[in-house]
A = this chain, B = another copy of it.
Amino acid sequence: MPGTPAVPAGKRPTLADVAARAGVSTALVSIVMRDAKGASAATRERVLQAAREIGYRPDARARLLRSQRSRLLGVQFGLQHPFHTDLVEGLYAAAEPAGYQIALSAVAAGRGEQRAVESLLADRCEALILLGPQAPAARLAELAGQLPVVSVARRLRPSVPGLEVVRTADDEGARQAVDHLVALGHRDIVHIDGGRAPGAADRRRGYRTAMNRHGLAEHIRILPAGLTEEDGADAARALSADRPHPTAVMAFNDRCATGVLDVFLRAGIAVPDDISVVGFDDSHLARLAHIDLTTVGQDIPRLAHLAVSRAVARLEGDKSPAGEDVITPRLVVRSTTAPPSL
């Protein structure tokens, strides 16, 4: 009864609707929408006008179905890891200028890596970027056989054929932490270990090697823990019972280190006066003014950028064998380390 209804009620407008309204073919509308060449300026404007009027919005699924390329990078990440969420932020920033979109799939309680990856594959991602994957090497190899896969922050030894790796030199990071503490005068340096977490083995090894090189072999002490605040807190509780305390602690990561810090503060052990603490990652946690943690900085934007680059290179036909980017970490000295008290 009224004039022209803006939208045919209930159905979202399609290319055909726009085409009808502008009096052109759907193919032409498609051209205009993609900003492809093959339409005159005048028609282009007319089509855009029509699209605006009926509130047309391209259907990403139909678009991806038809075009060979999906230009979609699937990212698997741990919802509760600040280091991962920082990385995701970097991935968004890196993917856009390369002309790719990011599809997120979270690993959470009740949703394992298997499920997360399944959903990315079903969504037709062209490549996968896995943050700190825990899956067995065989599974990663199988995936890498199907599409380009980049593992971020997890080293694989022996290397998995076809799998791209972007990681920080964890052993070197641990070395820097130990060197820093030794330079301050510490000898009794404990490592709170990440267990089976990605990177943990290398950090442990780096710690051992550095201690040995400083002639501190008999001071090597490794406390098994994990990657969460609670793991760090547990280890710190065990430590604070010791007399005398070690004078310094190198924690597996920042989450772990904040757990350590808090227990020490509560136990009346002053940081850094009584004991120094070093973290790992330089996630935004460490940068917070009230934590202000000395930590081994992973260059998060760089890691993100390289991960995207590797994926994209693969997709754009790079046939060279899969490789590895190893980023040198850089110690960020803040206020949780100082010379040991006499």
Task: Bin the interface of chain A by size.
Answer: 35 or more
A58 at the interface (CB under 8 A from B): yes
Contact of A85 among B79, B266, B291 (CB under 8 A): B79
Q: CA A109 – CA B105 in complex, angstroms? A: 19
A65 partner residues in chain B, CB cutoff 8 A = 59, 61-62, 65
Write the A237-256 contact mask toward B (1 if CB under 8 angstroms, else 0).
00000000000000000000
Write the A317-340 contact mask toward B (1 if CB under 8 angstroms, else 0).
000000000000000000000000
Count the copies.
Answer: 2
> In the complex the two chains form, is B284's CB within 8 Å of A80's CB?
yes
- Of A93, A104, A110, A290, the most chain B CB neighbours within 10 A belong to A290
> In the complex the two chains form, is B92's CB within 8 Å of A110's CB?
yes
> In the complex the two chains form, is B88's CB within 8 Å of A106's CB?
yes
A108 partner residues in chain B, CB cutoff 8 A = 88-89, 92
Q: CA A70 – CA B61 in complex, angstroms? A: 10
Provide the main secondary structure of the chain A interface: helix
A229 at the interface (CB under 8 A from B): yes
Write the A54-71 contact mask toward B (1 if CB under 8 angstroms, else 0).
010111111011000010
Write the A23-39 contact mask toward B (1 if CB under 8 angstroms, else 0).
00000000000000000
A119 at the interface (CB under 8 A from B): yes
A85 partner residues in chain B, CB cutoff 8 A = 79-80, 85
4 nearest CB pairs, A to B:
A233-B290, A262-B290, A60-B122, A61-B61
5 CB contacts below 8 A, A to B, read: A59-B124, A85-B85, A230-B290, A233-B289, A234-B289
